[in-house]
Structure 1
Amino acid sequence: MSAKILIVDDDTEVCQAVAEHFVKFGFQNESAHTDAEMCKVLARECYAMVILDVVLPDEDGISLLRRLRELGELRVPVLILSGCCDEVDRVIGLEVGADDYVTKPFAIRELVARVRAVLRRSNNSKAVAPNEGRTGRYIDFGSWRLDRIQRCLITTNGTVVQVTGTEYSLLEYFVQRPGRIISREQLMHHLSGTNPAFLDRAIDLRISRLRRLLGQRDKFLYIKTVRNEGCVFACAIGRGA
């Protein structure tokens, strides 16, 4: 079955044009034009991905994404569409939980390629790779448990902590390789498909956010930098059921 994508944009012509082309490339899709419509559609349907415009009539896309990520109500990958090409805006979009960022006007083939890359990364993070010792639903480390089915973090008292799709993929990559130095090139390859113009910065943002998130409970630096070599996940791993 082809991936089903939700397109959220107040410009109905953009939605229609993207939808028509996506069908040609094998994607199912549906459109929403406001914050309220998006939330209503998400409540009744499951989607593989959301394409979210920054400018919406009732709430801007960045604020909407931040709110839904914090509430844990939007777990699927999100690609932001924006008329602004400023680097600061792109970084903010990635920081609040976007998996990629495309500026308008855009070529439809580039958008399709970005969508496929994000979906590929999302699917790869769910797959079990050989020889990496991935067994069981849970991976325990420090005061955390990584749930590989729900793709989230769980605290020792059972509180669920949501992370974005890209952040989950990055964290799972680290916890599967404890004590091993992972180079920036390996991380870039793992997250391949993101715009190379700001992929390097995006990795820094994800690692920084993961460090803050994980260290909030026990002040331990789980992801340590090895100068001129890369990063290492510096915590023993336990396997849950």
Structure 2
Amino acid sequence: MTRVLIADDDDVVRDVVRRYLERDGHDVATAHDGTEALRLLSSQHIDVAVLDVMMPGPDGLSLCMNLRRGADYTVPVILLTALGEEDDRIAGLEAGADDYLTKPFSPRELALRVRSVLRRSPASAGVLPQDIVSGDLAVSTASHSVTVAGRPVNLTNREFDLLVFFLTHADTLFTREDLLKRVWRWDFGDLSTVTVHVKRLRSKLGEHHRIQTVWGRGYLWAAGAPGPGR
């Protein structure tokens, strides 16, 4: 059974979301602030963390950033925010969140998004080579690890799935809509999610990335030498 953490200072939100997720068959842990959420994340196995951006203690954004600094902690994170501006949503994605939901939200939609982040993506499912090499970039799908010139690179689950998808579909152009559906199986979502994850991959891989932007159309991973495509 998967264990989901719900961290929100609103008692009603925690209770309603907990009931929906338990109905879906999840084991649910709850926290009323960031301090309690951090304790649970440090002491228990959590499969998905749903974090309120505005809760007291370390807020959801801070918790997400701290989790992503840990080399081995790749738990999927969904942020809950009352802020609806694009810059705020992008800030959450850049902090390493896998998804976000703006309040007020449908508990049913949150349950669907939890199911989505738990589902193994096509990029990491099926028959894939255990080792993928592109120049100095080496990926192990078996150990879920990435190295660049022998140096370990810490990727979130979403970033790892996107990289594997690119590597196994080199020189093929994909729109942002394609990537949402084919990499993460999302039939809904903000296209800026793709933009932010591409940006983060480029930053983490540095000059070794081969992601090219085809303006107005989408992205592709060039099989040739790395280039500065942005």
TM-score between both structures, scaled by the size of structure 2: 0.85
Q: Deviations for 1:167-204, whole angstroms, at most 9, x for unmatched residues?
A: 111111001112333344421322342643x2x22211
Q: Distance in 2 between the 1:184 and 1:24 partners?
A: 33
Look up the equivalent residue of 1:117 and give its one-letter code: S
Asked whether the 8 Å contact 1:100–1:194 carries over to 2, the reply is no
What's the counterpart of residue 222 of structure 1? 210
Asked whether the 8 Å contact 2:8–2:32 carries over to 1, the reply is yes
- Match of 1:181, SS state, is coil
Residues 172/24 of structure 1: CA separation in 2 closer, same or farther (3 Å cut): same
What's the counterpart of residue 211 of structure 1? 202
Q: Distance in 1 between the 2:220 and 2:102 partners?
A: 34
Structure 1, 183-192 or 44-53: larger mean CA deviation:
183-192
Residues 38/194 of structure 1: CA separation in 2 closer, same or farther (3 Å cut): farther
Q: Distance in 2 between the 1:31 and 1:206 partners?
A: 28
Residues 58/128 of structure 1: CA separation in 2 closer, same or farther (3 Å cut): same
**Higher relative contact order, structure no. (Cα contacts within 8 Å, ≥ 6 residues apart):** 1
- Among 164, 180, 193, which residue is 2:186 paired with? 193
Tell me how far 1:43 sits from its aligned partner.
Answer: 2.8
What's the counterpart of residue 148 of structure 1? 141
What's the counterpart of residue 129 of structure 2? 135
Tell me how far 1:225 sits from its aligned partner.
Answer: 2.3
Residues 180/107 of structure 1: CA separation in 2 closer, same or farther (3 Å cut): closer
- Among 123, 126, 146, which residue is 2:124 paired with? 126
TM-score between both structures, scaled by the size of structure 1: 0.81
What's the counterpart of residue 175 of structure 1? 167
Q: How many residues align?
A: 224
What's the counterpart of residue 36 of structure 2? 37
Residues 184/153 of structure 1: CA separation in 2 closer, same or farther (3 Å cut): same
Q: Unmatched 5+ residue regions in structure 2? A: 225-230
Q: Distance in 1 between the 2:193 and 2:209 partners?
A: 20
Look up the equivalent residue of 1:167 and give its one-letter code: E
What's the counterpart of residue 239 of structure 1? none
Q: Distance in 2 between the 1:231 and 1:181 partners?
A: 6
Look up the equivalent residue of 2:221 and give its one-letter code: F
Asked whether the 8 Å contact 1:114–1:194 carries over to 2, the reply is no
Q: Percent identity?
A: 32
- Match of 1:154, SS state, is strand
Asked whether the 8 Å contact 1:118–1:194 carries over to 2, the reply is no
Asked whether the 8 Å contact 1:49–1:76 carries over to 2, the reply is yes
Query: Over the residues paired in the alignment, what is the CA RMSD in angstroms?
Result: 2.4
Q: Does 1:234 align with 2:227?
A: no
Asked whether the 8 Å contact 1:154–1:160 carries over to 2, the reply is yes
Structure 1, 164-173 or 28-37: larger mean CA deviation:
28-37
Q: Unmatched 5+ residue regions in structure 1? A: 237-241
Tell me how far 1:30 sits from its aligned partner.
Answer: 0.8
Structure 1, 161-170 or 144-153: larger mean CA deviation:
144-153
